[in-house]
Structure 1
């Protein structure tokens, strides 16, 4: 990874925040002073600041299949179930990324990785999200296609990147925006009520066969792939595609 990213992973600040350390010649890699941002740090390299070795902070990222009926919050004054009740108590300090409302299901990430949180939370990084949607009555492809051009909700323009009909009342949609209740409100504007909403993918990650309520740890390669998808220069969001139906 790039040197400034490595230093950020060591807990020394944001990628931009650590750049002065590099420019001032205070950073060495394998004993050699490095003053450029293009320097790559490989596994096994010895990195030091002012002669003091630094190492990336240990991070943990968990993928949970959120079931319906659980709130994305650490606690609820009304005593309702929260997503943290599905995780071991030792993971209560992890932060979730990409809220799902109480009635929605699917892929939800929890992490202690500050860089990952920063990347995925920033709207300009536009990481794609895939949802399977079930509506209360049969869908018309021509009407759903209007959502590719966008519609106004919550005073903003919301749009689908693509959609694929899975059946008479089911559709898979791809979005990169993260507006509150976005998909439900978009379909509501067309006269449909969403009766089930499941997030099945986030960037390169997929829900796969993970059952509702189950979780798994992400591997290092999965976390790195997610960071790459959320990189500012990465065209993570898919382009607009022509709608297809089965």
Structure 2
């Protein structure tokens, strides 16, 4: 079951805020009856009409993108910047959106879909889906700093969950290092803020893995569809914490 305004937004008819206005104005029907309650939930079997036009149900699609730096993880951008959806152009007719986000200056693995339930499973903190990043940092983190990241570190929006962290290489002379970090949260610019909190700001950041998925042979700007088996495994992982 999904909130009615969310279903309308996912169908690409209007933004969620505009969908709420349409509901309040009595312009939305569910199974032939006008609905004006914003808390209304509908299922896939319900027939939804907006201004007398029936919503068409799209086939669910799932993509893995190697996001380049310099793209916004959004469907549109009010500043006119390129978005990750722009990369797909007219090759994908479904109204896809990014699952979570990668910052403008961050590259790497990003999922996109038109399946709201799947997106929630992949991004809600309670499902603890691991995301692994490679961070090139300024300075060389000491043992105390790395331990702080592993145990959870205080940021302005609260303490982070424990992370898996290792330093894969460093150069004391050049004062730089490369670290691998795995987290399951998805706060705004979280990895960058974590390293900044221990005095080694991130210079370059790339997401290498999402759960068991990796970039494979993709290059920046390339993408592929997830297999049905991969989608099923991701669902099972979120719901049970294991893929067997």
For the 8 Å contact 2:236–2:242, the answer to whether it is kept is: no
Q: TM-score of the superposition, structure 1-length normalised?
A: 0.69
The answer to whether residue 56 in structure 2 is matched with residue 68 in structure 1 is no
Provide the residue aligned with 1:222 in structure 2.
230
Report 1:83-232 matches (<5 A): 83-89=84-90, 90-91=92-93, 93-168=95-170, 169-231=177-239
- CA RMSD of the aligned region, Å? 2.1
State how far apart, in whole Å, the 1-side matches of 2:60 and 2:157 are. 38
Residues 91 and 123 of structure 1: is their aligned pair in 2 closer, same or farther, counting only changes over 3 Å? Answer: farther
State how far apart, in whole Å, the 2-side matches of 1:202 and 1:178 are. 12
State how far apart, in whole Å, the 1-side matches of 2:67 and 2:199 are. 27
For the 8 Å contact 1:74–1:83, the answer to whether it is kept is: yes
2:119 is paired with a residue of what secondary structure? helix
| Structure 1 alignment gaps of length 5 or more | 1-12, 15-48, 50-55, 237-246
For the 8 Å contact 1:139–1:170, the answer to whether it is kept is: no
Superposition deviation, residue 179 in structure 1: 1.0
The structure 1 residue matched to 2:241, chosen from 231, 234, 238, is: 234
State how far apart, in whole Å, the 2-side matches of 1:64 and 1:91 are. 16
Superposition deviation, residue 139 in structure 1: 2.8
Provide the residue aligned with 2:80 in structure 1.
79
Residues 160 and 194 of structure 1: is their aligned pair in 2 closer, same or farther, counting only changes over 3 Å? Answer: farther
Superposition deviation, residue 121 in structure 1: 2.8
Superposition deviation, residue 72 in structure 1: 1.1
2:149 is paired with a residue of what secondary structure? helix
State how far apart, in whole Å, the 1-side matches of 2:70 and 2:95 are. 22
